[in-house]
Chains A and B, each alone.
Chain A
Amino acid sequence: MAHTIKSHDALESLRLELRRGCLPLAVLSALREEQYGYSLRKLLASQGLEIDESTLYPLLRRLESQGLLRSEWREQESRKKRFYKLLPIGEKILHQLTADWNAINVALGTVMGHKADPTEVPEPSSTSSTITL
């Protein structure tokens, strides 16, 4: 029993580590179109990438302070919301990161002895797929 719990914890920890690295890439990709925080979370969640808000917002701030995003407060549906959009320099970085991601994907496929096939990966549960840094 203890062994099962331990291996489950190890899996969760490794899964988290695995997904954590790809988070900026996912956010930058999603922000090619303007989004506000909650809509961005929903968009990512609808595509199978649930992100904890205490992870997403600090990340957005970091990316903005690095000059990759811009943000502005605007009123929408009678509430003020903060909208984010990728800047041209962010586009460039995204392009480079995407190339890196593809290279890693190919390398991993080679290391694992086959081409990476997303259909082989079982659907993770909604709780375990939430990314928290």
Chain B
Amino acid sequence: MDMIKRYIQAVHILLPSGHSQDILAELEEDIRSQVEDQQERVGRPLTDTELSALLKQRGNPLKVAASYGRQRYLIGPELFPAYWLVLRVAMAIWTGIWLVATVGMGAFSQVFQATHPALGLHPSALPLLDGLLQAAIWVTIAFIAIEQANAHYRFLDNWDPAKLPDLEPASDARNAVATRVGAAIELAMVALAIGWLVRATSWDMTWNWAGLHFALTPTWHPLFWAMIALSAYGIVLSMAKLLDPARTLAREVAYIIQDLGTIALFAAWTTAPILLEISGGGMTAEKAAEATRATNMGLQIGFQVTAVVLAVTTTIKIAKVIYRHWWRSSQIGRSAAQQLL
């Protein structure tokens, strides 16, 4: 019988507060009634083994105590799928940023290469783990807050079927994977570009090759910030595409703005004087000036050609957007109106 008291005590410790004495008294009475019942059946007092089996059958005290409590969740079954999705996306984004930044810095930054041997993957894994942990903590806290708020205000019940996202065309759905892969590559490229730019602005952008010394002139510096801003904008666009590959008008316009910015940047370069200085290699000052002039002319031509190509492709892109979103819809509207008439 001592075992029954110990069982009741174990339930008591775990029982939610309020009415606990009442619950325990009833529980004990139920156990004693069951014991009496069994003793009557076997015609003798129960052994400790039999009593132990009887209590075991009733369940762990933790489970018994929990059955009297209100079911509580930090993140309930309604929100859990959304929580899990957001957590995975947040972790994937952070891992992507870390990977691209590490590889980019390892490829282009001499300081990073010096302080992080073997591409820095091992020493820079700590920021990755730290970021993943931070992402998990903040996403979890956010969802706990949403869960608690929803428990009070039930705002998840206030939704409008008319505001659900538009149906994606079947072909878009099929291409979603390809679009995401493209976005991931785009993201990697832009992050590499940022890595290169960070190096260019943080350290003297000079290098030696075949006995020659190359140095970017200060003319680059104001344009670097424009390039960084454009690259950061590109990262936001790629991430958005990675999360939701659906082609929308807003996204197409956002990409056109990026293209226009890039054209402006190349146009600015074409008007810049000397961008790159060449010296060394046993050249006289005159020869070096000649080499610098020729190289910069080549760069100018390259920038001009690139700007023109970009201008043409962007014009085509704008024309396509206008056709897809306005001209065709107005045609459809017109033909529908004609049919009605």
Contacts and interface: CB of A to CB of B under 8 A. Distances in A.
A82 B22 CA distance: 9
A61 B68 contact: yes
B222 interface: no
A105 B63 CA distance: 33
Contacts of B33: 37-39, 81
Interface residues of B, number: 17
A52 interface: yes
Contacts of B19: 61
B148 interface: no
B10 to A, nearest CB: 14
State the main secondary structure of chain A at its contact with B: helix
Contacts of A4: none
Contacts of B59: 52, 54
Interface string A25-59: 00000000000111101100000000011110110
Contacts, number: 46
B29 A37 contact: yes
A57 B26 contact: yes
A79 B29 contact: yes
B67 interface: yes
B27 A57 contact: yes
Given A38-B34, A52-B59, A54-B58, A82 B67 contact: no
B167 interface: no
A55 B68 CA distance: 9
**Residue of A39, A54, A79, A133 most packed against chain B (CB within 10 A):** A54
B237 interface: no
A80 interface: yes
A81 B29 contact: yes
A53 B63 contact: no
Interface string A69-94: 00001000001111000000000000
B290 interface: no
B29 A38 contact: yes
13 contacts: A37-B26, A38-B29, A38-B37, A42-B37, A53-B27, A53-B30, A53-B58, A53-B64, A55-B67, A57-B27, A57-B30, A61-B19, A73-B25
Given A37-B26, A38-B34, 8 more contacts: A37-B29, A53-B30, A57-B26, A57-B68, A61-B23, A79-B29, A80-B29, A133-B67
Interface of A: 36-39, 41-42, 52-55, 57-58, 61, 73, 79-82, 133
Interface of B: 19, 23, 25-27, 29-30, 32-34, 37, 58-59, 63-64, 67-68
